[in-house]
Amino acid sequence: MAAGELRHNRPMAIYLDHAATTPLGPGVLDAMLPYLTEHWGNPSSIYASARRARQGLDEARERIAATLDAKPREIVFTSGGSESVNLAIKGVAWAASARGRHIITSSIEHKAGMHTCQVLERSGFDVTYLPVDRYGRVDPADVAAAINERTTLVSVMYANNEVGTIQRIAEIGAICRDRKVLFHTDAIQAAAHLPLRVDPLQVDLMSLAAHKVYGPKGIGALFVRQGTAMLPLIQGGSQERQRRAGTENVAGAVGFAVALGQRGDGHEAALRDRLIEGLRALPGIDPTGDPAHRLANSASFVAHGLEGGDLVAALDLEGIEASTGSACTSGSSEPSHVLLAMRIDPQLAHGSLRLSLGRGTTADEVERTIAVIGTLSQRLRPGMASVQV
Amino acid sequence: MTRVVAAMSGGVDSSVAAALLAREVRDSGVDVVGVWMRTHADRGEGFEHKRSCCSPDAADDARRVAQILGIPFFVLNVEREFGERVIDAFADEYLAGATPNPCQACNQYIKFDELLRRGLAAYGADAVATGHYARVEQRDGRFALLRAADANKDQTYFLWVLNQAQLARTRFPLGEMTKPAVRGLAEKLGLPTAQKPESQEICFVPLGDYRSLLQERRGYAGEPGPILDASGTRVGTHSGYAHYTVGQRHGLGVALGEAVYVREVRPERNELVIGKRDEVASSTFVVDGRRFVAGEAPAERFEASVRIRHRAPDVPCEVTLVGADRFAVETAEAVWAPAPGQAAVLYRSEECLGGGRIARA
């Protein structure tokens, strides 16, 4: 089946789904390899080879803490972004449940946050889901108004994974601090593009995932400000200061630290603007998200009269890799809760398309993508009429 | 270049159909795209339904087969269309006192309409292929639908609804194969679906419990009503007319000294009429919603053979067109329980001419 293998590994694919995951950045794999081949000891053990592994882990934690301007002890390694978000929300909600059982979040969180809150609701917590404007932004005044004496946690994402809208995190953080409520932000999508220093952002907890910042999959981190009460999700050994049991993913942590320390040149922003301009000019395609406050690499659209999934499959067969919005919701018949929260018509929301650029994206790739989408959207629309007589 | 969409259910038949097409990639430059259709939602954590062919976990099998064949694989969401055209229609047929035909509806509205149309548009394909046992041949400038070489597996009973436009873009790679040969090929190719058991139940009715589906989709709980014999005498009580279909023998709770069957379901009066075996057979019935594969009937009145349920024998008959969309059938010998809602499918030798929906006996 050589032909098929070739197609799977086509060399010329244009990858425009960096919001789903990113390739490894330069030097990341090289930094990781020694911890898979040589320094494979268990970092909790006593002897020399284990100490060497422990050193890699400690240094990785220090580097990540430095990027966040936090203390190393405030960094908890996890298996990835979803675990970080689960740990932050459940861990704090449980730890503070004697004091209050009210949580505030937004209506445009990633499913990791949204479903975690829904599970807590089923076990007796009250959750307020804050509305957003048509660009997907939360009004900090709504946060202030929603806080009551039983509120223990506010969780609002830094930048949205589907439409790239950036929230006023520092403003929300200041409100939370003033009202003595803990504040978590899901910075997973934002981390490759926005400042991460935790003090100016006024956050108490911040979730990160390595593979969204040109690091490996299977490793994430949660910043937990010193003094924050949080119960663990995973019980067992005393790793991660008893906040996350399990033998550490040392190579992953090392790769994560290297990747998070690298910054792109920001060239995506101009390409993104060209992409939005080019697709907006096509009939029946409208941009979604905030025109000003959006991630540098993120362009999102709705195409009238199309199924987003069909368009993405068609793009794939043309060698362009894109998404309807979130890799985690593909195959679902429900339109995106993010688009619905932005009050986009449900029928229209079925035609969602997300193009997220990366450090390697070129102007030629953007031009080709605009041209291909122009052709495909013409071909796809008549396909929605019946062949039945 | 020709590109074919292979509909993959996750069963052995559609796996091998896709494999046969993928083999053509090397021989003639045909390009294959595997598609699994999500027809209904899974039931969330902790639920397993291994037995039905299109259950969501069948997607895993289909994906593995596509990987082994080296073809692209997509999931096409047709939940909305399937819900309306197949599941709701299924419930509505029961509520109308008829016997639903969901596999036919799925072919008519989902596989050879929704998938065909969206497949052609989205994947730039020229045709759709399925794992059905049937054949398509060009005869006298039109497309003829022919029975499968394996008479045991022939599925034209569910395909007679296809029109010329659909057949022109349809491929049945298994048409010339027998089931054992299909399993043998799957084994040889190392496909994980090779030994998967035949699916018997309706894919969206786990464990065959359609009564709870009627309750969920249409709020029908069933209200007890009379069971009448041929003379109109009450001989028992049923749990709700929609829980029964014509020809049914079990679950009547009537002991009359010999086997009795449902002969008629009367929704408007919530009544069942039962009869003895020979009372349930009939040699005349009327069909509505007629369609002919060729686009038109062979004549106003013609000889053919008719099949009134999957795998039942064909019976010679005379067909007379009535009005705009009906025909009357008179069979040479009485056929067992023509059930409203089921298809009456017409054949001439190996060719499927078309058919209609049995309206009444």
Residue pLDDT, tens place only, B171-224:
999 999 999 999 999 999 999 999 988 877 788 887 778 899 999 999 999 999
Q: Comparing C-alpha atoms, which of A266, A271, A194, A258 is closest to residue A16?
A: A271
State the total domains in chain B: 3
Mark whether B178 and B80 lie in a shared domain. Answer: yes
pTM of the entire structure? 0.87
Mark whether B143 and B40 lie in a shared domain. Answer: yes
What pLDDT was estimated at residue A328? Answer: 45
Mark whether B197 and B268 lie in a shared domain. Answer: no
* Nearest-angstrom CA–CA distance, A371 and A19: 22
Q: Confirm whether B111 is domain-assigned.
A: yes
What pLDDT was estimated at residue A327? Answer: 54
Q: CB B25 to CB A331 under 8 A?
A: no
Tell me the CATH number at A338: 3.90.1150.10
Neighbours of A353 (CB within 10 A): 25
Tell me the CATH number at A152: 3.40.640.10
Per-residue pLDDT tens, chain A, 389 aa: give them.
333 343 444 557 999 999 999 999 999 999 999 999 999 999 999 999 999 999 999 999 999 999 999 999 999 999 999 999 999 999 999 999 999 999 999 999 999 999 999 999 999 999 999 999 999 999 999 999 999 999 999 999 999 999 999 999 999 999 999 999 999 999 999 999 999 999 999 999 999 999 999 999 999 999 999 999 999 999 999 999 999 999 999 999 999 999 999 999 999 999 999 999 999 999 999 999 999 999 999 999 999 988 898 999 999 999 999 999 865 444 456 789 999 999 999 989 989 999 999 999 999 999 999 999 999 988 887 655 544 43
Mark whether B230 and B317 lie in a shared domain. Answer: no
Nearest by CB to A331, which of B22, B69, B77?
A: B77
The 10s digit of each residue's pLDDT in B10-21 is 999 999 999 999
> Looking at this protein, which amino acid is placed at residue A231?
L
Band (B360; pLDDT cuts 50, 70, 90): confident
What pLDDT was estimated at residue B185? Answer: 96
Tell me the CATH number at B148: 3.40.50.620
What pLDDT was estimated at residue A277? Answer: 97
Mark whether A98 and A15 lie in a shared domain. Answer: no
Domain boundary among A230, A260, A290: A260
- In chain A the first and final C-alpha atoms are separated, in Å, by 39
CA of B284 vs chain A CAs: smallest distance (Å): 29
Answer with the residue of higher pLDDT: A369 or B75.
A369
Q: Confirm whether A211 is domain-assigned.
A: yes
Answer with the residue of higher pLDDT: B44 or B42.
B42
- Which residues of B participate in catalysis according to the annotation? 106, 203
What pLDDT was estimated at residue B256? Answer: 75
State the total domains in chain A: 2
Q: Number of A:B CB contacts under 8 A?
A: 86
Whether the per-residue pLDDT at B46 is higher than 50: the answer is no
What is the residue range of B227's domain?
221-279
Whether the per-residue pLDDT at B272 is higher than 90: the answer is yes
Q: Confirm whether B322 is domain-assigned.
A: yes
What pLDDT was estimated at residue A3? Answer: 37
Mark whether B17 and B153 lie in a shared domain. Answer: yes
Neighbours of B43 (CB within 10 A): 12
CB A212, CB A19: distance < 8 Å: yes
Mark whether B74 and B130 lie in a shared domain. Answer: yes
Tokens, residue A202 = 């006024």
Domain boundary among A210, A230, A260: A260
Mark whether A148 and A190 lie in a shared domain. Answer: yes
Mark whether A77 and A182 lie in a shared domain. Answer: yes
What pLDDT was estimated at residue A378? Answer: 86
Mark whether A100 and A200 lie in a shared domain. Answer: yes
What pLDDT was estimated at residue A332? Answer: 54
Mark whether A105 and A186 lie in a shared domain. Answer: yes
Mark whether A197 and A49 lie in a shared domain. Answer: yes
What is the residue range of A42's domain?
28-260
Choose, out of A328, A333, A352, A381, the residue to mutate when testing the contact with B (most B CBs < 10 Å). A333
Domain boundary among B156, B184, B207: B207
Q: Comparing C-alpha atoms, which of A216, A218, A174, A168 is closest to residue A190?
A: A168
Interface of A with B in 323-352 (CB under 8 A): 330-333
CA of B79 vs chain A CAs: smallest distance (Å): 7
* A328 a catalytic residue: yes
Domain boundary among A260, A289, A312: A260
Q: Comparing C-alpha atoms, which of B41, B81, B35, B9 is closest to residue B206?
A: B41
What pLDDT was estimated at residue B252? Answer: 85
Q: Confirm whether B212 is domain-assigned.
A: no
Interface of A with B in 294-323 (CB under 8 A): 307, 309-311, 313-314, 316-317
Question: What was the ipTM of the complex prediction?
Answer: 0.81
Q: Confirm whether A101 is domain-assigned.
A: yes
Q: What mean pLDDT do residues B267-290 have?
A: 94
What pLDDT was estimated at residue A11? Answer: 55
Mark whether B201 and B230 lie in a shared domain. Answer: no
Neighbours of A308 (CB within 10 A): 24
The 10s digit of each residue's pLDDT in B105-158 is 999 999 999 999 988 888 889 999 999 999 999 998 999 999 999 999 999 999
Mark whether B155 and B236 lie in a shared domain. Answer: no
Write out the DSSP string of A25-79. PTTHHHHHTHHHHT--S-TTSSSHHHHHHHHHHHHHHHHHHHHHT--GGGEEEES
Interface of B with A (CB under 8 A): 22, 25-26, 33, 38, 41, 68-72, 74-77, 79-80, 108-109, 112-113, 116-118, 120-124, 163, 165-166
CA of A339 vs chain B CAs: smallest distance (Å): 19
Catalytic residue among A95, A174, A328, A372: A328
Q: Confirm whether A389 is domain-assigned.
A: no
Tell me the CATH number at B248: 2.30.30.280
What pLDDT was estimated at residue A388? Answer: 44
CA of A2 vs chain B CAs: smallest distance (Å): 8
Q: Which helix (H) or strand (E) holds A313?
A: helix A308-317
Which strands sit side by side in the sheet containing A75-78, from one edge to the other? A75-78, A220-224, A205-209, A182-186, A151-155, A102-106, A126-130
Tokens, residue B168 = 């022109």
